[in-house]
Structure 1
Amino acid sequence: MAYKYSIGHLTYTFNDLKTLLARATPFRSGDALAGVAATTYQEHVAAQIALADVHLDVFLREALVPYEQDEVTRLIIDSHDAAAFKPIGHFTVGQFRDWLLSDACDTAVLKSLANGITPEMAAAVSKLMRNQELIAAAKKCEVLTSFRNTIGLSGRLSTRLQPNHPTDDPAGISASIIDGILYGSGDAVIGINPAGDSPANTRRLLEMIDNFRRQFAIPTQSCVLCHVTTTLDLIEKHAPVDLTFQSIAGTQSANASFGISLSLLEEAYQATLSLNRGTIGNNVMYFETGQGSALSANAHYGIDQQTCETRAYAVARKFNPLLVNSVVGFIGPEYLYNGKQIIRAALEDHFCAKLLGLPMGMDVCYTNHAEADQDDMDTLITLLGVSGCTFIMGVPGADDVMLNYQSTSFHDALYLRRTLGLRPAPEFEAWLVQQGIMDRQGNQLPDAGTYTRLLGGIGQ
């Protein structure tokens, strides 16, 4: 079906829904690379106006990737909750935008609608929104998950403590973990990207974190971000796996490039659940995404990268994850060229994921060859903090020396918490107070004795 918008004697024609969505997307380098971006600003605005008049139920009838060819499309269509969709089923995309920003739309209403909204609907409405509107609508969403603590409560900001090391050296990793803990980081997860993905190396890192966590009864969870097949092998060998991690994308072909399928993720999900390691909840999956992943795998089917990204959230939603985050600037300037594009993409990803009912965090990051710097990241973490972002990363000095990119530091999380009045997960916060690391007002209590005590524990 073609979509048109006329201005005087000039008519813009968009041959199908995916073309309309692509042209309505705010400009980014990845869409230009793929040849799907609007060629002029006038064409972009015409596509936005035409998209605003599309009824939401069109997205249930016009698949961007054929149902017969793509298991992600089948998941989106087959899992759609018609009853949840009914209250908004008569809206156009433009009316949906207006309603999301109205007082009639609140946290409880959004929670009841989540399973009735498809990724394509979420992506479409985001394309009509300014940055402030993405922030305002996302702020209304509250998505709670739990394992050993409660993630996502309003007024809280969690962090993933990311103690990566280029050689997986235990001493270097230990120092980073303790540094992060003393700054109040680590309530989302203590998560290591291993330099080597072997089962033996992964198990060694898992046991190191788990021994430290148990020694001090820390109410958090651990994860070594290896491939899902490695985790399955470790589960069979009774390793201390808390969370199963996997990078995911928005098409079956892109996921195949990661070596995964929905059936493999289901196997891992059930295996991780069977361990029963959570104390207050059973959300056991951790997923990472990123705009441009489908394009980089030549598996985007002519769909713009933000819509592909949002389709990945249907995959995540199926497995009730504890944590999801977009590694927003990690893939590079070929996909998000500069700070402006990274900021916009992050706000889109956060809004769309929260709208779909996911516990969305963000790796606020960039590569060294992108036209971005730490000031851009300061701006972005502030906007995300206002938006109600579930968690951000805590990397020593904001410089990941193993993955070779720039992220956010333990100090950045402190800045957000202090400036916006945010606090860690409640169980983790109580533990920090008990350990003398933080007082009840959220102030740090630096103590060399605490450092020595924690260092002794992690070394055992």
Structure 2
Amino acid sequence: MVYRASIDGTSWSFADLKELMAKASPQRSGDELAGIAANSAMERVAAQCALADLPLARFLEEALIPYEKDEVTRLIQDSHDKTAFAPISHLTVGGFREWLLSAKATPAALTALAPGLTPEMVAATSKIMRLQDLIAVGAKTRVVTAFRDTLGLEGRLASRLQPNHPTDDSRGIAASTIDGLLMGTGDAVIGVNPVTDATEDYVRICHLLDDIRTRLDIPTQTCVLGHVTTAIQAIERGAPVDLVFQSVAGSEKANEGFGITLGLLEEARAAALALKRGTVGQNVMYFETGQGSALSADAHWGVDQVTMEARAHAVARRFSPLIVNTVVGFIGPEYLYNGKQIIRAGLEDHFCGKLLGVPMGVDVCYTNHADADQDDMDALLTLLVTAGVTFVIAVPGADDIMLNYQSLAHHDMLYIREVTGRRAAPEFEAWLDRVGLTDEQRRLRPAPDPVLFAPALAYLGEAA
């Protein structure tokens, strides 16, 4: 079906829904690299006008990636909840934007609506929204999950403590972990990206993190971010696995590049659930996504970055994860060229994920060869927290010495919690109080209670 728009006497046509969606996307280097972006600002506006007039129901009729060739498309279409979709089924994309910004779109209404939305619907809507629109809708969308603490509650902001080490040295990981805990981070997860995917290293790091957690009685969860098959092997060996991690993408072909299928993810989830390690909940999966991942694997089917990212969120939604985050600037300037594009993408990803019912966090980050700096990260962090982001990631000094990219520092968590009034997850917050890390006003103390925190400091000597 051809889609058309006319502006100032100039007519524009778009061969199909895939082209319309791509041409309507705000400018980004990845879509330009793929050869699918609008050729001018005028063509982009024309596509956005045509998209705004498109009925939402059209996305249920025209698949961007063929149903018979892609299991992600089959997942999206087969799991669509028509009853949940019914209240907005008469709306266009533009009408849906207006509804989202209205008083009718309450947190309860948005939660009920999520199963009725497809990733293509929310991606299309994001394309005609300003940053303030993305923030306003995200701020009133709630997705609550739990394992040993509860994430996503109103007024809360969680953090991932990321104690990576360039050689996976136990002592280095332990030191970095304690550094982060002393700064009050780690309620979303204490998660290590291992250097290798060897099962032996996975099991060792898993035991290391669990030992620190149990010695200090921390109400949080740990994760070794190895491949899902390594996690399954570690579970079979009796490792104390809290969360199973996997990077996911928005097409079957891209997921094959990650070495996964939907069936494999279900197997891993079942294995983690069988351990019954959660205390206040049993959300056991942790997923990472990022705009450009499908394009980098030549598995995007000519679909734009935002839409492919939203389709990855639909994959994550299927497995009821505890947390999901987009590593927004990690893939590089080939896909998000500069700070402006990274900021836009981070807010888009958060908006799309939350609307789909995904507990969305963001790794506020960039690579050293991108046209971005820490000022851009300060801006994105502040906007995301205003938008109600579930969690962000922090590393010592904002510099990940293993993955060689720039993220947020533990100090950034102190800044954003102070200026916005956001608090840690309730169970973790109570632990911070109990071990003397916070004062009566829940401000971080310069040093913890030496008696209560002695097991952590002693651990450094034992981890060598």
How high is the TM-score relative to the length of structure 1?
0.99
313-322 or 441-450, which deviates more: 441-450
5 Å-filtered alignment, 1:108-119, equals: 108-119=108-119
Query: 1:155 maps to what in 2?
Result: 155
Q: Deviations over 1:193-251 (max 9, x none)?
A: 00111010111100011011111111000000000000000111111000000000000
CA-CA distance at 1:458 after TM superposition: 5.5
Q: 1:109 to 1:233 in 2, by over 3 A?
A: same
**Equivalence map 1:218-297=2 (5 Å):** 218-297=218-297
Which residue matches 1:103? 103
Q: Secondary structure at the match of 1:392?
A: strand
Q: Distance in 2 between matches of 1:6 and 1:177?
A: 57
Alignment of 1:176-187 (within 5 A): 176-187=176-187
Return the alpha-carbon distance in structure 2 between the equivalents of residues 417 and 385 of structure 1.
9
| Partner in structure 2 of residue 89 of structure 1 | 89
Match of 2:78 in 1: 78
AA partner of residue 113 (structure 1): L
Residue aligned with 1:274, SS: helix
Q: After superposition, where does 1:41-440 map in structure 2 within 5 Å?
A: 41-440=41-440
Residue 454 of structure 1 corresponds to which residue in structure 2?
456
Q: Tell me, in whole angstroms, the C-alpha distance in 1 between the residues paired with 2:338 and 2:384.
A: 18
What is aligned with 2:7?
A: 7
Kept after mapping to 1: 8 A contact 2:215/2:455: no
Q: Secondary structure of the residue that 1:4 maps to in structure 2? A: strand
CA contact (8 A) 1:364 1:393 kept: yes
CA distance in 1, matches of 2:4, 2:430: 57
Where 1:253 maps in the other structure, the secondary structure is helix
Shift of 1:454: 1.8
Contact 1:188 1:221 in 2 (8 A): yes
Moved more, 278-287 or 448-457: 448-457
Structure 1 stretches of 4+ with a deviation exceeding 6 A read none
CA offset digits 1:75-111 (Å, max 9, x no partner): 0000000000000000000000001001111100000
C-alpha separation in 2, matches of 1:297 and 1:369: 20
User: What is the alpha-carbon distance in structure 2 between the residues aligned to residue 211 and residue 8 of structure 1?
Assistant: 67
Query: Could you tell me the TM-score, scaled by structure 2's length?
Result: 0.98
Contact 1:164 1:192 in 2 (8 A): yes
Shift of 1:452: 4.7
SS in 2 for 1:57: helix
How far has the Cα of 1:453 moved from its partner? 4.1
Distance (whole Å) between structure 1 residues aligned to residue 189 and residue 42 of structure 2 = 45
- Contact residue 99 and residue 105 of structure 1 kept, 8 A: yes
State, as a whole percentage, how many aligned pairs show the same letter: 62
8 Å contact from structure 1 (residues 211, 458) kept in 2: no
Task: Give yes or no for contact 2:159–2:186 (8 Å, CA) kept in 1.
Answer: yes
Contact 2:216 2:453 in 1 (8 A): no
TM-superposed CA distance for 1:459, in Å, is 4.8
Aligned-partner SS, 1:6: strand
1:421 counterpart letter in structure 2: G
Q: Deviation at 1:161?
A: 0.2
Partners of 2:338 and 2:435 in 1: CA distance: 42
Give 1:457 deviation, angstroms.
Answer: 3.8
Partner AA of 2:50 in structure 1: A
Q: Check whether the contact 2:242–2:272 (CA below 8 A) recurs between aligned residues.
A: yes
Quick one: which amino acid aligns to residue 38 of structure 1? Answer: A
Give me the whole-angstrom Cα distance separating, in 1, the residues matched to 2:377 and 2:8: 42
Q: Which runs of 5+ in 1 are unaligned?
A: none
Shift of 1:442: 1.8
Distance across 2 between alignment mates of 1:361 and 1:459: 34
Paired with 1:232 and 1:432, the residues of 2 have a C-alpha distance of 32
Q: Please say if residues 398 and 409 of structure 1, whose CA atoms lie closer than 8 Å, have aligned partners that are also in contact.
A: yes
How many residues matched? 460
Q: Any conservation in 1 of the 2:218–2:428 contact (CA below 8 Å)?
A: yes
- Structure 2 gap segments, 5+ residues each: none
Deviation per CA, 1:382-439: give whole Å up to 9, x if none.
0001000000011000000000000001111111100000100000000010000112
After TM superposition, give the deviation of residue 7 of structure 1 in Å. Answer: 2.5
Aligned partner of residue 12 in structure 1, secondary structure:
strand
Q: What CA distance in whole angstroms lies between the structure 1 residues aligned with 2:60 and 2:442? A: 47
> Which secondary structure state, in structure 1, belongs to the residue aligned with residue 48 of structure 2?
helix
User: For residues 43 and 77 of structure 1, what CA distance do their matches in structure 2 show?
Assistant: 30
Tell me if structure 1 keeps the 8 A contact 2:171–2:460. no
- Residues 206 and 222, structure 2, Cα contact 8 Å, conserved in 1: yes
Distance 2:409 2:105 in 1: 35
Measured after TM superposition, the shift of residue 289 of structure 1 is 0.2
Residues 216 and 455 in structure 2, CA contact (< 8 A), matched pair in contact too? no
- Structure 1 equivalent of residue 38 of structure 2: 38
Cα drift, residue 172 of structure 1: 1.2
Counterpart CA distance in 1 for 2:210 and 2:91 is: 49
Q: 1:459 to 1:269 in 2, by over 3 A?
A: farther
1:24 maps to which residue? Answer: 24
Q: Deviations over 1:112-148 (max 9, x none)?
A: 0000000000000000100000000000101100000
Alpha-carbon distance in 2 for matches of 1:386, 1:300:
31
Distance 1:440 1:153, change over 3 A: farther
